[in-house]
Amino acid sequence: MRLSELKERIKIDKRDVIVAGGGLAGSLAAVAAAREGMNVLLIEKYGFLGGMAASALITPFMTYFESGESGKLANKGLFEVLRNKLAGVGAICKPECVCGQNINGDLLKLALDRLLKEYGVTVLLHSLIGDVDFSAGRVKSVTVSTVSGNINVKADYFIDATGNADLTAFAGLEYNIGRESDGLCQPMTTCFRLCNVDWEKYNKNAAKTLELYKKFQAEKKIKNPREDILTFGFVGYPSDGVMHFNTTRIVGKDPTNVIDRTAGETEAREQIYEMYRFLKENVEGMENAVLINAGAEMGIRESRRIIGHYELSRDDLVSVRKFGDSIARGTYEIDIHNPAGTGTHHERIPDNDYYTIPYRSLVPQNADNLIVAGRPICSTHEAHAAIRIMPITSCIGEAAGIAAALAVKGKKAAIDVPVGELRTLLKSHGALI
Ligand SMILES: Cc1cc2nc3c(=O)[nH]c(=O)nc-3n(C[C@H](O)[C@H](O)[C@H](O)COP(=O)(O)OP(=O)(O)OC[C@H]3O[C@@H](n4cnc5c(N)ncnc54)[C@H](O)[C@@H]3O)c2cc1C
């Protein structure tokens, strides 16, 4: 047998819409486009959907409610459909649960498989987009490196939901990265989990543990620059004795530079081992702890941000601005883990209110048939630090999917999509905008 014979069997027709990346933004974009009658192909580099939550063990869902007395929901639509699917397979804590909205990343994969199947989306796993044919303002096709070699696939419209704006960058379009002052991005983090943790004892001695951690840092026995030890429960917390750590901190590296990314992965593994030994050898309740798993990759908080038709800013968020072309709401605060080392900056959003995300921020300049979904939309470093969380990227995904469908049907450039129609459709599907 020759590879050419295998490739003969793999025929993928031209699609209405191709979605690059199967995180929450990409998965829900694909569902939303298919729900509007599009023939959709979703391309994902891993063997599963779910993005950071599935590959990098990211949990819980950060807030999707207004803070303060109102407590109103801010993110619904397909995000709510997904939450119901997760509940159906026991993969999400109930809102009243002490740990908030923890999700089980492995069951999330299953829930998404089922959801995409229900809407007839074709999914291509183990498929990494590595090249884009872009000319005269249009993406013509993408080249996908698969387990069967390279494959070229075509569509009328493309949605870049890679989290890092890969498709946009590979098309040769300009982008921003990192904070304005020095281009540094928020740190990367490999999450990990320990089992056999005695939570009660651990919690009782938390203050003492933090003191000891800082002492070890000062003595250079701990190299991790993070200011504290960030832990979460897991589904079933705390009875199952599993503790989730979002606490490694890789600073000063560019997530889009493959050399930096490689160095970061190995540094993060050293930090995991350092923390594991520190806890096991010094902290009550951790004597029997066992490292059970770590993310398959470092979690990326921030990388490329597209140059779109509107740059969402910190001021838009803290002044809870309501845009005429709003396609999603958000209530999460500006949460910047220090790109250079220790410390985390928080800036709250006013109680009983929400900010909005304009459609124009999803549309890259100088591209007619490309829409961006998820965290790389056009925003400043500060605004990105709020809109990057999963409930919001999910809602952006739904809007991108509907917008692509409207563009295909009306043969329109992405920026000319009728926003009134987009908003009406979003509302009709229960989205809050
Ligand atoms: C350490 C850390 C902690 C966080 N904590 C929280 C939290 O507690 N709560 C919360 O709500 N959010 C949290 N976030 C933020 C959140 O996880 C991400 O911002 C969010 O997942 C972004 O969603 P997305 O769909 O845009 O991108 P992603 O989740 O990154 O999905 C992108 C998808 O595209 C695929 N892909 C990428 N490149 C290619 C390519 N070239 N070809 C094919 N496929 C590709 C990826 O494999 C992935 O499946 C955290 C992030 C990090 C890193």
Report yes or no: 319 and 354 within 8 Å, Cβ to Cβ: no
Same domain as 410, residue 372: yes
User: Is residue 145 within a helix (H) or strand (E), and if so which, with residue range?
Assistant: strand 138-146
Average pLDDT over residues 189-211: 94
Average pLDDT over residues 27-45: 98
Picking from 294, 319, 340, the residue at the C-terminal end of a domain is: 294
Task: Indicate if ligand 1 lies below 6 Å from the C-beta of 376.
Answer: no
Coil vs helix vs strand at 312: strand
Q: Is residue 211 part of a domain?
A: yes
Higher pLDDT pick, 239 / 227:
227
Please give the distance, rounded to the nearest whole angstrom, from the Cα atom of residue 302 to the centre of ligand 1: 9
Question: How far apart, in whole angstroms, are the C-alpha atoms of residue 397 and residue 404?
Answer: 11
Query: Euclidean distance between the first and final Cα of the chain, in Å?
Result: 54
Report yes or no: 252 and 264 within 8 Å, Cβ to Cβ: no
Average pLDDT over residues 196-204: 91
Same domain as 349, residue 283: no
Same domain as 207, residue 78: no
Task: Indicate if ligand 1 lies below 6 Å from the C-beta of 224.
Answer: no
Question: How far apart, in whole angstroms, are the C-alpha atoms of residue 149 and residue 394?
Answer: 31
Query: What are the pLDDT digits (tens) for 264-301?
Result: 999 999 999 999 999 999 999 999 999 999 999 999 99
The token pair that represents 354 in the structure block: 């929400």
Same domain as 255, residue 311: no
pLDDT at 99 over 90: no
Same domain as 417, residue 324: yes
Picking from 261, 294, 327, the residue at the C-terminal end of a domain is: 294
Query: What are the pLDDT digits (tens) for 217-237?
Result: 999 999 999 999 999 866 554
Average pLDDT over residues 134-142: 98
The token pair that represents 152 in the structure block: 């070229």
Same domain as 376, residue 275: no
Picking from 242, 260, 294, the residue at the C-terminal end of a domain is: 294
Residue 156 pLDDT class (50, 70, 90 cuts): very high
Q: Is residue 102 part of a domain?
A: yes
Same domain as 205, residue 86: no
CA nearest neighbour of 253 among 182, 321, 203 = 182
Q: Is residue 318 part of a domain?
A: yes
**Alpha-carbon distances, residue 232 vs 27, 100, 280, 419 (angstroms):** 25, 10, 18, 39
The token pair that represents 199 in the structure block: 């939570």
Q: Is residue 5 part of a domain?
A: no
- Residue 234: the pLDDT is 61
**Alpha-carbon distances, residue 191 vs 110, 248, 250 (angstroms):** 21, 7, 12
Structural domain boundaries enclosing 217: 192-294
- Residue 232: the pLDDT is 82
Which ligand 1 atom minimizes the distance to the CA of 232? 8
Please give the distance, rounded to the nearest whole angstrom, from the Cα atom of residue 205 to the centre of ligand 1: 33
The answer to pTM > 0.85 is yes
Same domain as 353, residue 317: yes
Q: Is residue 263 part of a domain?
A: yes
Half-sphere exposure of 42 (CA within 13 A, CB side): 36
Query: What are the pLDDT digits (tens) for 111-124?
Result: 999 999 999 999 99
Average pLDDT over residues 74-103: 85
pLDDT at 334 over 70: yes
Same domain as 161, residue 36: yes
Q: Is residue 187 part of a domain?
A: no
| Total tally of structural domains belonging to the chain | 2
Please give the distance, rounded to the nearest whole angstrom, from the Cα atom of residue 63 to the centre of ligand 1: 16
Q: What are phi and psi of 168, to 5 degrees?
A: -65, -45
Ligand 1 pocket test, candidate residues 58, 152, 251, 344, most atoms within 8 A of CB: 58
Please give the distance, rounded to the nearest whole angstrom, from the Cα atom of residue 219 to the centre of ligand 1: 35
- Residue 239: the pLDDT is 55
Ligand 1 pocket test, candidate residues 166, 390, 395, 398, most atoms within 8 A of CB: 390
Same domain as 416, residue 391: yes
- Residue 22: the pLDDT is 98
SS3 content of the chain, % helix, strand, coil (to 5): 35, 20, 45
Report yes or no: 394 and 79 within 8 Å, Cβ to Cβ: yes
Residue 331 pLDDT class (50, 70, 90 cuts): very high
Average pLDDT over residues 137-141: 98
Which ligand 1 atom minimizes the distance to the CA of 46? 47
Same domain as 422, residue 365: yes
- Residue 199: the pLDDT is 87
